[in-house]
Structure 1
């Protein structure tokens, strides 16, 4: 299914804009994560604290994702996305300021601000589902997520190119790139056309949240989403630091991140078709197999290609798990239940990321690179088991699309 399959006009424009913004979202995230882990290591009073700014980045997203969803449920997607992009712009400014004065505390605060930016941007995939229905929705969601493929070029290249642009302040220009890309998003988001929630929709809240999240589908989809992000974050936050410790050059780290980003998003162009053809639960299971492969790559050695395979496989696994989880979440709730359901789901996802990211620095410095992989095994097995259980419970690996 190509973008041309989506009828043009408002829907086609929305898909292209949101896919482009998805690419910019992860380009900015790539620059921030790739740079801030190393900057954190240089500014932190103890190397164990190097990933704290990145942990706060995820914590900021976790704390703001539910309010962001409720806010957009009231004021609409476009105003909410513009607010989020503004946080990205000012986050880049704060990062450059923190580096210029050598303040680890300010770098940590920058992580929180960037987390708010990321929380709003994480709803691009749900925004397109607001205006597309039926099987076409699965393709639209996967195409928007696949837009992140541009981050495989823009993110690592921008970080590497800007590294010494404002020497002797290494990486200061990289934070300026963050602000520039966020400003570009502001310009693009002014043109999306997604209806503002109607008053009647605001007055109807649907089922209680507790009833929605007790659905087996929701539980398994939430677990899959949490695993995809926790595994991806834990490995890729640690990878640049581990490569630096192993005396591999920064260009190698950028190379690994570049191919990791390609692996995250290229499968998104056909993940929706795979979900329709083979079932979302099969796609989830394929994702867990990819993550197991990433763990094998991590524990097998510390050469460049160990890092490359780990990044590539965790990226592919993330795509299969996250696309399929997103599809199931959109089919678990009615229109008037979307804000609270999506907000709670993303809170769980970001909480899982934060939990892993805060501990990554300690794992890496106290137990070594292989421990970053071994600690993922229990949740990979849990996710695979839960997916198989749900498929047996429903009697199919290809659940029918819920009528809206």
Structure 2
């Protein structure tokens, strides 16, 4: 609910900034929107906390599936409200953002979650809790989530520009991005079930391999079909990698350490995504689309190999 309030205030600050031509106020509004977004990303962990052990992966997966609804409704909503501010652009978009936050808060108002468990928290200080981040299962899950999000951002962002350089139209690049978004969020309806069947480790490895495949296809062909295949693989790979890593984190961290581990996980994901987004333009302008697509391949394959080896050792010695 705090995230919702900050989202509304931030959106209205941005509206005021556009009317008053105040760039600093616009930045302040986006700071609040950023904090709200950070709160929203924890929805998947809140869904997991409210579910039984058997249904935790399904809860995370289904909460992420709503991104598919956003992918279809977002552009349509922008088309409806884009002219609301008259000669001042984006007024309608920010007002719509505040309205969406209000609508999203309505089901939360009726939500009744069990109180947070305090068991064991008194005996575990902050410095002691930091040790959980050094556990292989925790940092490998965090690395998988960060790499999945980072490489998805790195390859998806310059796709329209790369397609324009290859002679394709804006309509064709828009369609490729549309199917990429479907591939990102569509599998969420079944990802949790797949995790229950084959395990989080296997799903994470499959996600990393699909991301690797997206890079290879993007690097070695500039045909229209290759852009479709690469971006669809990129979307499914992100889905498996990110949801698998989130589920893995829930599995291996005790409830009293979960807030710290989850916060550190999302901080790493945000940092890696920001670095990848900032470096995309530099890589695209210097080494080109093909090498940009292959830039994360060694890291993706090394992490996949580590997860395979650690999974085999865990089954042999009876630990995760």
Length-normalised TM-score, structure 2: 0.84
Gaps of 5+ in 2: none
For 1:395, what is the secondary structure of its paired residue? helix
For structure 1, which segment, 137-146 or 167-176, has the greater mean C-alpha deviation from structure 2 after superposition?
167-176
Contact kept, 8 Å, 2:138 with 2:253, in 1: the verdict is no
**Cα distance change on mapping 1:241 and 1:119 into 2, 3 Å:** farther
Confirm whether residue 382 of structure 1 aligns to residue 302 of structure 2. yes
For structure 1, which segment, 98-107 or 128-137, has the greater mean C-alpha deviation from structure 2 after superposition?
98-107
Q: CA deviation at 1:199?
A: 5.5
**Cα distance change on mapping 1:99 and 1:260 into 2, 3 Å:** farther
Contact kept, 8 Å, 2:203 with 2:244, in 1: the verdict is yes
**Match of 2:273?**
353
Contact kept, 8 Å, 2:117 with 2:255, in 1: the verdict is no
Q: CA deviation at 1:296?
A: 2.8
Q: What are the equivalent positions in structure 2 for 1:57-136 lying under 5 Å apart?
A: 82-95=1-14, 111-136=30-55
Bigger CA radius of gyration: 2
**Cα distance change on mapping 1:215 and 1:222 into 2, 3 Å:** same
**Cα distance change on mapping 1:89 and 1:318 into 2, 3 Å:** same
For 1:282, what is the secondary structure of its paired residue? helix
Cα distance in 2 between the residues matched to 1:157 and 1:368 = 33
Q: CA deviation at 1:364?
A: 2.8
Cα distance in 1 between the residues matched to 2:34 and 2:203 = 29
Contact kept, 8 Å, 1:163 with 1:171, in 2: the verdict is yes
**Cα distance change on mapping 1:183 and 1:129 into 2, 3 Å:** same
Structure of higher RCO (CA pairs closer than 8 Å, 6+ residues apart): 1
Q: What are the equivalent positions in structure 2 for 1:300-339 lying under 5 Å apart?
A: 300-301=220-221, 305-339=225-259
Contact kept, 8 Å, 1:290 with 1:313, in 2: the verdict is yes
For 2:252, what is the secondary structure of its paired residue? coil
Contact kept, 8 Å, 2:64 with 2:185, in 1: the verdict is yes
Q: What are the equivalent positions in structure 2 for 1:34-73 lying under 5 Å apart?
A: none
Contact kept, 8 Å, 2:118 with 2:256, in 1: the verdict is no
**Match of 1:232?**
152
Q: CA deviation at 1:120?
A: 0.5
Length-normalised TM-score, structure 1: 0.68
Q: What are the equivalent positions in structure 2 for 1:183-198 lying under 5 Å apart?
A: 183-197=102-116
**Cα distance change on mapping 1:392 and 1:84 into 2, 3 Å:** same
